[in-house]
Amino acid sequence: MWIYQKSLEYPVRITKTDPRMALLIITQYGGPDGESAASMRYLSQRFAMPTNESKAVLNDIGTEELAHFEMVGSMVRQLMKNATPEQIKAAGAGGYFADHGKGVWMGNAEGVPFTAAYFQSKDEVIANLHEDLAAEEKARATYEYLIRMADDPDVIDALRFLRMREVVHFQRFGETLVSVQAAMDEKKFY
Amino acid sequence: MSAEQAAALEALMAEVFTGVELNLYLDTHPWDEQALMCFNRHSAQLMELKHAYEARYGPLLGFGYSPSPDKWRWNMSPWPWEMA
Ligand SMILES: [Fe+2]
């Protein structure tokens, strides 16, 4: 069960309209290394986790990713909200506007829809945790690409927060992998 | 949302974030007593801030985790994505 808290995890306060940036950032909403894929990956994989520690880590990081999903959606909306159709067209976002208006939709930066094929969930803790480590690094890299393309300090501030969280998640998954491997080694008899 | 309310909410968000970070850390370092003390100290501070915030500005959590005295207040404050 989840309880909704009526606040973001970290403030998103963007007042400068930029539909082009909105539709780049949207890949972290519904793209291959985005927050939705991350959250659904961990919350699905947690059912197959074998230790108290690994269940807690997958559950809690999967939950935090939902808060990031909400932050990214807020960024997209705030960047788009006051754009005129002319501005949107000039930004090369006319295709998105034709399909969604200024609605926030789950796709990547090229308009490819979200798919569960972005992640795996197996009854294999070692495979799952290696995927999770890679996922965090890929998300970190994507935030760095986005930061390089952004110029509004308010946008960069929120992107930096999200990038930093991927680094922390990578760290926690690494610790979890080590402890799961130690628990598995203890159970082996030669 | 007034500047005063926004500041109160941000102070609370900072406390919640501390809780998130310490929670994840303790998931993989459950033996770290200093971190555990820190977590419990922040948890108590968060509860205090939550009660003070809700008494002034209305419910912060849904589904009964926050009271709504005398009328339905859940939908009266702005939503998180509307705070630009
Ligand atoms: Fe993450």
Distance A133 CA to ligand 1 centre (A): 9
Q: A107 φ, ψ to 5°?
A: -145, 175
Helical (H) or strand (E) element with A161:
helix A153-186
Q: How many CA atoms lie within 13 A of A59 on its CB side?
A: 15
- Quote the domain boundaries for residue B70: 1-84
Per-residue pLDDT of chain B (84 residues; tens, 9 = 90+): 889 999 999 999 999 999 999 999 999 999 999 999 999 999 999 999 999 999 999 999 999 999 999 999 999 989 999 987
Determine what percent of chain A is predicted with pLDDT higher than 90: 97
Kindly tell me the sign of the dihedral angle through the C-alpha atoms of A42, A48, A49, A55.
Answer: positive
Is the CB of B13 less than 8 angstroms away from the CB of A73?
Answer: no
Domains of chain A by range and CATH?
19-185 (1.20.1260.10)
Q: What 8-state DSSP symbol labels residue B65?
A: S
Q: How many CA atoms lie within 13 A of A174 on its CB side?
A: 9
If you measure CA to CA, which chain B residue comes closest to A154?
B84
Judge whether A175 is closer than 8 Å to chain B, CB to CB: yes
Q: Which of A10, A15, A53 sits opposite B28 (nearest CB)?
A: A53
Tens digits of residue pLDDT in A85-141: 999 999 999 999 999 999 999 999 999 999 999 999 999 999 999 999 999 999 999
A122 residue type, one letter? K
Q: Which of A6, A15, A64 sits opposite B20 (nearest CB)?
A: A64
If you measure CA to CA, which chain B residue comes closest to A79?
B84
Spatial CA neighbour of A26 closest among A34, A17, A37, A15: A34
Is the CB of B13 less than 8 angstroms away from the CB of A10?
Answer: yes
Q: Please report the number of interchain residue pairs, chain A to chain B, with beta-carbon separation below 8 angstroms.
A: 78
Q: Confidence class of residue A147 from pLDDT cuts 50, 70 and 90?
A: very high
| Residue pair B12/A7 in contact by the 8 Å Cβ criterion | yes
ipTM score here? 0.96
Residues measured by CB to lie within 5 Å of ligand 1, the ion: A 166, 169
Number of domains in chain B: 1
The answer on pLDDT for A32 being more than 80 is yes
Give me chain A's average pLDDT, please: 97
Closest Cα in chain B, distance from residue A190 (Å): 29
| Predicted pLDDT of residue A190 | 56
